Amino acid sequence: MCGIAGIIGNARHTGPCSTGRLLAMTDALRHRGPDGEGHFRAATEHTAIALGSRRLAITDPGPASDQPLHYLDRYVIVHNGELYNAPELRQQLIREGLPFRSAGDAEVIAAAYHQWNSDCVQRFNGMFAFAIWDRQAEILFCARDRFGEKPFHFHYDATAGLLHFASEMKALWAAGILRQPKPQAFLHFLTLGITEHPEFPELTFYEDILRLPPAHFMTYHPADNRLTMSRYWDLDRMTRLEIPVAEATRQFGALLETSVDMRLVADAKIGLALSGGIDSASIAATAKGRVGDTVSAIFPGFARDESDSIFRMAGHVGMHTHTTAPDTDMLVDSMDTLVNHQEEPFGSAGILAQFAVHRLATKQGIRVLLDGQGADETLGGYDRYTQWHLQEVIRSRGWQAATAEAKAFADNGFLPAWGWRNRMASISPGLAAAWLERKARQIHARLDDIDEDFRDRHEGAGYIHKPLVERLNDILYADTMLGPLQELLRYADRNAMAHGIETRFPFLDHQLVEFIFSLPSNMKFRNGFSKWILRENYRSRIPEDILWRTGKTGFEPPQHKWMDDERVRKQIQSAQQKLVDLGMLDAKVLRRPVIPCHAYARDNRDWRYWVAAQFI
């Protein structure tokens, strides 16, 4: 795990590719790589390039894997992440006659690129963001993992013929790239909490700073100033696997076991982020005997505190439990730090709980943390997904069958609402998408806290979009590849790297996700329970009261209580004043009291005002 940075352009850019500018970029990424630093600069008749890395040594911690890493006197690579199938690829490449001098995965990536060119990314199983400079061809090749677990930001000046890239935007700002907020992005965050553009995933909250989207690679030819971007992988939403339930459960379990096994390889202490839910419990059951410590956030006295389940599961698998209890003091004291690391707005106080868990892990000497992120988006864990499964039932087996299933889900707390609109959505999903989009636009337009001139000038740009959902997989795909999961992975990466920790997500193994998406929805929703195939697979390995617990409890802190604290209220009011002064909010907002909200409340406006003001 590392922080990477680079500057590349044609031959006249030896000045911008200076040692001083590169050092400024890697210094800004020091927290991502406390174990070492490396730099590379070169100039030819046609190009100038500078590459830098900050290293967090998780595998092969010796100097042979230091970066920038040189391979075959032709390639120079900087890499952030882990390639879980590196040992298998190394053996395959050795059989092809390629040499190796390290046990690290950066050299495997460079060798794979030499052997297969851009097709190499199709063979990778892992989380990664890397850049390879081909000194012979004078081409820069960059790629990002399938789900976007590792970040890659860049600024491309097409006129000047100059490209800057880095793991985090703060490195670009350190290089002199302007930090200019994008008004459209901030407007839609203020009104609806939108953090990701649904149609242009490369956009950030800042003008002219882009991100390489998940499952994409980018090639830059500095000599003729040519930059191209291509998608190399996508999830298949349509293909259905005809398979008996028992065999599906067996294959699912085998894939998840393999995924966990691959993520337990490290030359550093491994721990587990344990909540009270089924996702992290299943990882705990799989890693039993191989992981000794868990870290958790608890909220004593809060209705959604999961302490009992956390301690019960940890005891069940024989792991030692470490807990932290984030509170208002921590929120107030940590807000500036959160803003510095996150770089873009965040929608709730849940991010503080995750930040605290990673800080606790560092205190326990944990360098690698397993996490259950991704299970809800791929297996249908959120309550809102149940209605989409039921709409499939309507189309396949009729309204009466769907009504019977709806009752079972409602009785177990997995269906908050079900009525005639859902029936209409099953008949006409296009009209349903249009209705949902129209409703979002109405909320956006009616929020009278927003300055009308600011809204009129910046309300376009396609930020409000509801996908056409004809089957459960459509909404799971949208949330996995285009929206909420991307936001959560950004939070996780920044919180982990703020504390020098590598977080790994077993549920985001692409082979496992592809298998999940090939299954019919009734293997995800069954007998009144969501994520049924996961629960079924862990019978006898997880306590019954955790395995078959009714209702969905998210990773939720007592945000309402924290926002009711006088110190937080004053900071929110100060943020409101700042946004009024900037012409983003109407002055009337200053005349009403702050409205505390729960972390996942729809009308979380005052939290959003507080957060947005920190980034402008």
Domain definitions of the chain by residue range = 2-231, 236-557, 567-614
How crowded is the C-beta side of 268, counted as CA atoms within 13 Å? Answer: 24
Render pLDDT for 55-80 as a digit per residue (tens, 0 to 9). Answer: 877 776 777 778 899 999 999 999 99
Is the distance from CB of 472 to CB of 389 less than 8 angstroms?
A: yes
What is the per-residue pLDDT for 435? 86
The number of angstroms, rounded, from the C-alpha of 17 to the middle of its chain's C-alpha atoms is 31
The alpha-helical segments, DSSP class H, found in 39-133 are 86-95, 105-116
CB atoms within 10 A of CB 425: 22
> How big is the chain, counted in residues?
616
Task: Average the pLDDT over 526-539 and give the result.
Answer: 96
Q: What is the rounded CA–CA span in Å between residue 314 and residue 452?
A: 53
* End-to-end CA separation in angstroms for the chain: 30
Peptide bond into 201 cis (omega under 30): no
The domain 236-557 is classified under which CATH number: 3.10.150.10, 3.10.110.10, 3.30.110.30, 3.40.50.620?
A: 3.40.50.620
Fold that domain 2-231 belongs to in CATH: Glutamine Phosphoribosylpyrophosphate, subunit 1, domain 1 (3.60.20)
Residue 16's pLDDT band, with cuts at 50, 70 and 90, is confident
Is the distance from CB of 21 to CB of 7 less than 8 angstroms?
A: yes
Is the distance from CB of 584 to CB of 187 less than 8 angstroms?
A: yes
Render pLDDT for 339-369 as a digit per residue (tens, 0 to 9). Answer: 999 999 999 999 999 999 999 999 999 999 9
Bridge partners, 83 (sequence order):
126
Q: What is the pTM of this model?
A: 0.95
Is the distance from CB of 166 to CB of 209 less than 8 angstroms?
A: no
Q: At residue 115, does pLDDT exceed 70?
A: yes
Q: At residue 493, does pLDDT exceed 90?
A: yes
Q: At residue 87, does pLDDT exceed 90?
A: yes
Render pLDDT for 268-295 as a digit per residue (tens, 0 to 9). Answer: 999 999 999 999 999 999 999 999 999 9
Q: At residue 41, does pLDDT exceed 80?
A: yes
- For residue 386, CA distances in Å to 409, 478, 578 come to 8, 15, 41
What is the per-residue pLDDT for 1? 57
Question: What are the backbone angles phi and psi of residue 603, rounded to the nearest 5°?
Answer: -95, 70
